A and B are shown apart, each in its own frame.
Chain A
Amino acid sequence: MRTLTFDREAESVPGAGDSPHGEPKLGLYAVDVSRALTADMQVSFTELCSPRRRARLGRFRHPDDAKRSLMAEMLARAAIGAEWLPEHASGELAFGQDRYGKPYLIGHSELHFNLSHSGRWCACAVSTAPVGVDVEQVRPMELSWTDKFLSADEREDLRAIGESDRLWRFYELWTRKESYAKAMGRGLTPELLSVSVAEGGAEALAPYRIRSSCLDDSHPAAVCAALPELRGDWTVWTPEEIAARVLRRHGMNERG
């Protein structure tokens, strides 16, 4: 029989993923975008984006995709501006894309970050090491086609689990794979896809570690980084809090 002290103080780990010198090494941030953004907020956020980004936002067929994409970028600005580059205004940060499509921060190659969004959530991981993050909304899906890319022990894992939990477990494995591929930064190639990410085979991925989590009952998430440990809680902001961080730093007032 186990006893566990659920200690409130211990729950919020100060300085997530501390190095011995006390500098943060990994930060996890998320925002729930299920509510509508106010018109003013959307306009203000959009104004911070580059013209190319704005054009892209206008091309999304589903407005929800555009909203998620916009909020993911704002989340990154708020996160980086809050704890990683506080001396820079969030609005001044400029993003570029490498040849694999992975975003990076212009002028700060020592800082790594990654974005993901799906369903209600946008997530952002920031770290001193290359990092990948993935969140997925669990949607009912037929799973037989996935055998083609799962490794043997992953297939075994799924078969062993009861049917009611299988869908969740699949998505959990998927987020782990994606976070790994995104940390590697070279897209989801078949080789990477077939690497087993089930918890047992951790050694094969070294020095990369993967940590699974969930943002709510229907959104598993995974973070992957080449760090000795991946500790730390998710910092969840509301869109209003993000607006306050990002727009104020840029010197803009949120209208209305």
Chain B
Amino acid sequence: MSLDALEIQKIISSGKLDKERNFWSELLSGDKELTRFPEDRQSGSEGAAIERREWRTAFGSELSERIRSLSGGSDIAAFLVMLFGVQLVASKYAYAAETLLVTPVFDWPEDGASVNELLVIPFEPDPNASFRANLNALRARFAAILEHQNYPFNQLVKERGWGDEEGADFRIPIAVGSRRLHPDRMRDGTAADCRFWFEEQDGGWSLDIGWHSGRYSEALAQAIASHYVEALSQLLSRPDAPISELNLLPDSEWDRVVRVFNDTEGPFPGDRTLHELFIGQAARTPDAVAAMYKDQTMTYGELDEASNRLASALRQAGVGPEVKVGLLCKRSFDMLTGVLGILKAGGAYVPIDTAWPKRRVQTVLEQIGAKHLVTQREAVGPFSDLLWRSAELEHIVLLDEKGNEPAIVLPDRESIVRMFDDVAAKAEDRIQAGGFFSSYTGLPFTESEVNEYRDRVAELTAPFAGADAKALEIGCGSGLILFELAERFGRYVGLDPSPVTQERNRSRLEECGLTDRVELITGFAEDIGGMPDGSFDVVLLPSTIQFFSDHFYLEKVLRDAVRLLRPGGALIVADVLDEEAKEDFRSSLEEFKRNHGTFYKSRSNFDQQLYVHEDFFGGIAGQYPGMRAEVFKRTASFKNELRFRYDVVLTKPSGSSSGSASNLKRFYTQRQLQEENVQALSASANPSGTAYIIFTSGSTGTPKGVVVSHRPVVNVIDWVNGTFGVNERDRLFFLTSLCFDLSVYDLFGMFAAGGAIDIVPEEDVRKPETWPQRMADSGITIWDSAPAALAQSIPFFEKFEGKLPRTRLFMLSGDWIPLTLPGQLHRLFEGSKVAALGGATEACIWSNYYEVKAVDPQWKSIPYGKPIRNAKYYILDRELKPCPIGARGELFIGGQCLANGYHSEALTKERFIRDPYAEDPNARMYRTGDLAKWMPDGNIEFLGRVDHQVKIRGFRVELGEIQAKLLRHPDISNCIVLDCMDGSGQKALCAYYAAAADLPFRQLREFLAGDLPGYMIPSYFVRLDAIPVTSNGKVDRTALPDPVTLVRSDAVYEPPANEIEAELVEIWKQLLELDTVGVNDNFFEIGGHSLLAVKMDIEMEQRGLLISPEDFQQCYTIRDLSRYTTKVSVDADSDV
């Protein structure tokens, strides 16, 4: 008989158990949880009566004798020996270094009144120490625990958060006891999911294992028991060997998990490269359609020719084996030409996404040291300055460019002329005429500020001036610089697009008597292309280039300017908007507005002006041998916004006489490609060579590149096509980005089979509503994507009025597959196959598969399946030893399906290690960082990431399990459950679900409570029209909104009790835009603020609900308000 809860509380608050409390607090500090065996059954399964089952196994005389001799006849010592065995087995099954098992207490007072009946024994075995040594450590731990055994276990459960608040149905995951030490009622009376009970009779020990049949199958329980006996036996026969040498698996099981489950060897065309698969097909069926884009098609023959031309050009430009070529194209046929062209030239393609931020594009180009880039004028636009900033980049192919050189975006002459004419006409003085207005205040700069700028330019120009010198100023404007510098040169030419401005300049020149020295030309910067070489000593662009359209235009003008310079001359670009300082400038503007805000008209038109990074000029100069670029930042002087700009001087070396440079970037357009040979190059076929490098986001933020060779990819493509009978009649819906390796199957899988790909245009990739029509028009037979994208489109398939295409194969990979999805697909597309494929980019697209036929309602997730041909899967424990079936371990992938590694050698060594289970000594295996377990039939169940475990109040939570349960709700079509932070800073669960209408929060809770323990029920439920999806087809977590429904612990919901309260509830619902408002809710806590309070007051008045201002101020809830409110009838004519 134990003391009741109240008495226990009294004892604890009296401080009598403080010593115990501190002990346990320290021992259990950190996020520790009670160890459990991984379930292979789901509780709450329909129909199954939950019972306690038992199974007994005797140890036999030899083992029993060893136990007795090691424990010297002591009951407790014997118990510890056997307990250690359980700890070892539990740690293997649970993938836990430290185990926390529960035993009954060891002190049973005669009169039966004990404060506590259960103990938790936390212990971490040392794998390098022997059994004996570990036993001693356990003994010491045990002794310490015994000293503090009076602390109530239930109290620990509450404090640690192992049990939820309601205290319902707490079950001990693993309980261990012995008949010699513990009363029988503890054996049967303790609610445990798995129970080890040791009995001794006539010197022979036996194990009585009991389990909860709703959680564990008989097979698993028996397997655990037999592994236990095996472990105990090994420990006792070699008590002085390090326990890491223990091998839990009997030979037959070892063989099963390592060999039988991995019996996947098979032949494949290992001597072919990816492009050879295409070439072979193109030779067979040159007129067959290879790709479709919008309403156009491209045949195999056309694609073959186009890629041959590109390959030829690239070869001549130096592309060959292991040369990495960047590929940056929009979704189009050019993408395909690019991929094939690079491979045919012998190189490896490195896809870059047009959606990446510029910094990432730059990082990737730098990492691969790219000398060659295959792109499109349209795609490269936003990144064009990188072409010159990167010194390595030499050859750039613009697949969509029809002209001889990259198209320049010419300025809209009319509107620019109008703008500058306007400025000139409105100007009241030289400052305004120069357009010098402060972005901060909108007011003109001061004289001294403007002069500071002018003097700077003069200073930079001075070394190149002289009586014989000639200068050209592009963008002379109102002549701020011109009139200052003209006298220092023999001849001065001023170019400006504004006729009005030039007219005024002409008059002023006459006044100053400079007309013989100065020539004024009305024109645009690109007009200098017509001037002869070497005509100037100085070319000046003062505060001009920010008006240029883009970097291509800028580069052209600079190139012409360099040509115009004599040797020894200087190209001076002044007042350049610094791209690096752009954000500083923006913050500075914001700060100013904040402090002087509404008074001034601050201007910020960042996007209309051209910002240039100083490395751009470095890159330009680098193209000309001997040319120097000197950048003058303005950190010292210039207190206004001009300090976010810089000036740069490029000096042409005096030696060379011509302006020809050896290092100008080479651009290749369609014109040049047309001249290339259309015949195939001699095969540069090395299947072990690198085919592509795909960059994924690294955990540190730096993208990491996965380097993949041809051979393993050919293996998986050949396997997929063979397994699913992919042939030339197939058409694949191409949705994914080239930066995601699914695209490699999409392209080469289809090319190898002779089928066609339908390239979904950029604008439709995020619009699932357009897919059914498109798929029907193209006759799509194969779908390949991440599950979220497909799940999103189901409602549109269901609504589609036309005839759905006869899609026969759905390949789903990369993310958690909703359990309802296969059923929906089978229903909508009769006779179709649904294949769940898994793996990693490091294991070349896919390495495991499961064909989903019927979805077992017991499943928490679609099984990961089995390894594909030539792939090997290992589930290993922390010592890299194979796990028994049903035990949780880390997933390793071996076999012939691995990538070469990462771009970083250090990282490769870390993740790709030697495969000790393969016959080939050079074989490697890849550490996935995922947890999984084997099922008896050789299928793998995925259990989440090693490093990302969601823990709510100390409990490990499988989000997939909650998702699976929620999806069973008839009104919910899709969902995702994540961990988040609640209002008071604690971890909580948030469920986002897709449904036609909001589901009452209470109902959802109740629905889940039928199957899930309290801690697994989300605190927040957010309804969405659809779960948002990224360009890779995975769930877009950043697009998920903040949860808005809160479980309120204090303010209990109460409906209105009278008419006044009912009216107030209506008013609040409208004002606060809420569905539910209780009369105890605090206005300001549910989203109200003072403006709405005033509105409420007015609204109440209009409805005849009167309350004094003082009372109104003091009431925050409807309940309180109603007490002081009186209702009067509202006269329709009264003046409210």
Which residue of B has the minimal Cβ distance to A2? B443
Distance (whole angstroms) from the CB of A228 to the closest CB of chain B: 20
- Asked whether any CB of chain B lies closer than 8 Å to the CB of A188, the reply is yes
- Asked whether any CB of chain B lies closer than 8 Å to the CB of A151, the reply is no
Which residues in chain B, 1080-1113, are within 8 Å of chain A measured between CB atoms?
Answer: 1081-1082, 1085-1087, 1089-1091, 1093-1095, 1098, 1109-1110, 1113
Q: Cβ of B1095 and Cβ of A145 under 8 Å apart?
A: yes
Which residue of B has the minimal Cβ distance to A9? B639
Given A11-B595, A61-B1046, A193-B1094, decide whether A3 and B639 contact each other with a Cβ distance below 8 A. Answer: no
- Asked whether any CB of chain B lies closer than 8 Å to the CB of A45, the reply is yes
Q: Which of B181-189, B285-293, B980-988 contacts A (4 or more CB under 8 A)?
A: B980-988
- Chain B residues within 8 Å of A19, by CB: none
Distance A187 CA – B1091 CA, assembled complex (angstroms): 12
Which residue of B has the minimal Cβ distance to A1? B428
Interface 1/0 per residue, B1021-1054 and A, CB below 8 Å: 0000000000000000000001111101111000
Q: Which of B166-174, B370-378, B546-554, B586-594 contacts A (4 or more CB under 8 A)?
A: B586-594
Q: Cβ of A188 and Cβ of B981 under 8 Å apart?
A: no
Measured as residues with beta carbon below 8 angstroms from the partner, the interface class of chain A is: 35 or more
Q: Cβ of A5 and Cβ of B446 under 8 Å apart?
A: yes
Q: Cβ of B1095 and Cβ of A236 under 8 Å apart?
A: no
Distance (whole angstroms) from the CB of A117 to the closest CB of chain B: 9
Distance (whole angstroms) from the CB of B42 to the closest CB of chain A: 31
Which residue of A has the minimal Cβ distance to B1109? A189
Pick the contact of A136 from B443, B1042, B1091 — CB < 8 Å?
A: B1091
Pick the contact of A39 from B591, B593, B985 — CB < 8 Å?
A: B985
Measured as residues with beta carbon below 8 angstroms from the partner, the interface class of chain B is: 35 or more
Interface 1/0 per residue, A1-40 and B, CB below 8 Å: 1111111110100000000000000000000000001010
Given A39-B987, A46-B985, decide whether A6 and B441 contact each other with a Cβ distance below 8 A. Answer: yes
Given A58-B982, A63-B981, decide whether A212 and B598 contact each other with a Cβ distance below 8 A. Answer: yes
- Chain B residues within 8 Å of A189, by CB: 1109-1110, 1113
Distance (whole angstroms) from the CB of B697 to the closest CB of chain A: 19
- Asked whether any CB of chain B lies closer than 8 Å to the CB of A66, the reply is yes
Q: Cβ of A59 and Cβ of B1090 under 8 Å apart?
A: no
- Asked whether any CB of chain B lies closer than 8 Å to the CB of A87, the reply is no
Which residue of A has the minimal Cβ distance to B1077? A61
- Asked whether any CB of chain A lies closer than 8 Å to the CB of B611, the reply is no
CB-based A-B contact count at 8 angstroms? 134
Distance A139 CA – B1050 CA, assembled complex (angstroms): 31
- Asked whether any CB of chain B lies closer than 8 Å to the CB of A62, the reply is yes
Distance (whole angstroms) from the CB of A215 to the closest CB of chain B: 6
Distance A62 CA – B1045 CA, assembled complex (angstroms): 7
Which residue of A has the minimal Cβ distance to B438? A6
Distance A108 CA – B792 CA, assembled complex (angstroms): 59
- Asked whether any CB of chain B lies closer than 8 Å to the CB of A214, the reply is yes
- Asked whether any CB of chain A lies closer than 8 Å to the CB of B440, the reply is yes
- Asked whether any CB of chain B lies closer than 8 Å to the CB of A254, the reply is no
Pick the contact of B446 from A3, A37, A39, A64 — CB < 8 Å?
A: A3
- Asked whether any CB of chain B lies closer than 8 Å to the CB of A128, the reply is no
Q: Cβ of B598 and Cβ of A220 under 8 Å apart?
A: yes
- Chain B residues within 8 Å of A236, by CB: 591, 594
- Chain A residues within 8 Å of B429, by CB: 1
Q: Cβ of A62 and Cβ of B1087 under 8 Å apart?
A: yes
- Chain A residues within 8 Å of B639, by CB: 6-9
Q: Which of A49-57, A201-209, A241-249 contacts B (4 or more CB under 8 A)?
A: A49-57
Interface 1/0 per residue, A136-160 and B, CB below 8 Å: 1000000001001100000000000
Given A7-B639, A43-B985, decide whether A60 and B1094 contact each other with a Cβ distance below 8 A. Answer: no
Q: Cβ of B1098 and Cβ of A188 under 8 Å apart?
A: no
Distance (whole angstroms) from the CB of A152 to the closest CB of chain B: 17
Distance A67 CA – B443 CA, assembled complex (angstroms): 40
- Asked whether any CB of chain B lies closer than 8 Å to the CB of A190, the reply is yes
Distance (whole angstroms) from the CB of A154 to the closest CB of chain B: 14
- Chain A residues within 8 Å of B591, by CB: 236
Q: Cβ of B594 and Cβ of A216 under 8 Å apart?
A: yes
- Asked whether any CB of chain B lies closer than 8 Å to the CB of A84, the reply is no
- Asked whether any CB of chain B lies closer than 8 Å to the CB of A65, the reply is yes
**Chain A CB within 10 Å, residue with most, of B640, B983, B1045:** B983
**Chain A CB within 10 Å, residue with most, of B444, B982, B987, B1094:** B1094
Given A63-B1042, A193-B1094, A213-B594, decide whether A39 and B981 contact each other with a Cβ distance below 8 A. Answer: yes
Which residues in chain A, 197-233, are within 8 Å of chain B measured between CB atoms?
Answer: 212-217, 220, 233
Distance (whole angstroms) from the CB of B603 to the closest CB of chain A: 13
Which residue of B has the minimal Cβ distance to A117? B1089
Distance A70 CA – B983 CA, assembled complex (angstroms): 9
Distance (whole angstroms) from the CB of B426 to the closest CB of chain A: 12
Q: Cβ of A42 and Cβ of B981 under 8 Å apart?
A: yes
- Chain B residues within 8 Å of A73, by CB: none
Q: Cβ of B446 and Cβ of A4 under 8 Å apart?
A: yes
Which residue of B has the minimal Cβ distance to A10? B639
Q: Cβ of A188 and Cβ of B1043 under 8 Å apart?
A: no
- Asked whether any CB of chain A lies closer than 8 Å to the CB of B597, the reply is yes
Distance A217 CA – B1048 CA, assembled complex (angstroms): 35
Which residue of A has the minimal Cβ distance to B1116? A101
9 interchain residue pairs of minimum CB distance = A66-B983, A42-B985, A214-B597, A187-B1113, A46-B985, A58-B984, A61-B1086, A8-B639, A43-B985
